[in-house]
Amino acid sequence: MSDTATAPRPDEKDSELKRSITGRLLFFYTLGDVLGSGIYVLIGLVAAAVGGAFWIAFALGVAVAAITGAAYAELVTKYPQAAGASLYVNKAFGNRPLTFLITVSFLAASMAASGSLAVGFASYFSELWAAPPALLVSLVFVAILVVVNFIGITESVVINMLMTFVEVAGLLIVLIIGIVFVAQGNADFGVLTQIETGGDYSSPALAVLAGISFSFFAMTGFENTVNVAEETIEPYKAFPRSLVGGMLVAGLVYVLVSIAAALTVPVDTLAGSDAALLEVVKQGILPFSTDFMTNLFVVIALIAITNTTLVTIVTQPRILYGMAREDVVPAVFATIHPVRRSPWVGLIFSGVVVSLLLVIGTLVTASGGGIDLVGRLATVTVVLLLAIYALVIVSCLKLRGQDEHDEIFRANTPLLMVGLVGNLAILGFTVYDDPHSLIWCAGLLAVGGVLFLAEYFFGGKGTGATTPDLDETTAGKEA
For 50-106, the pLDDT digits (tens) are 999 999 999 999 999 999 999 999 999 998 876 688 889 989 998 888 888 998 999
How far apart are alpha carbons 334 and 325 in whole angstroms?
6
Fold of 12-478: Amino acid/polyamine transporter I (1.20.1740)
Q: Which of 363, 376, 352 lies closest to 447, judged by CA? A: 352
Q: Give every residue of the chain whose pLDDT is below 70, as ranges.
A: 1-20, 36-37, 82-83, 152-160, 198-199, 227, 230-231, 369, 460-479
- Give percent of the chain with pLDDT exceeding 90: 46
Residue 461: the pLDDT is 53
How far apart are alpha carbons 220 and 69 in whole angstroms?
10
Number of Cβ atoms within 10 Å of the Cβ of 107: 27
Q: Which of 317, 286, 315, 281 lies closest to 300, judged by CA? A: 281
- The full set of domain ranges for the chain reads 12-478
Handedness of CA 436, 373, 64, 81 (dihedral sign): positive
Residue 460: the pLDDT is 60
How far apart are alpha carbons 404 and 118 in whole angstroms?
42
Residue 203: the pLDDT is 87
How far apart are alpha carbons 451 and 458 in whole angstroms?
10
Number of Cβ atoms within 10 Å of the Cβ of 238: 23
Q: What is the pTM of this model?
A: 0.85
Residue 184: the pLDDT is 94
How far apart are alpha carbons 209 and 397 in whole angstroms?
26
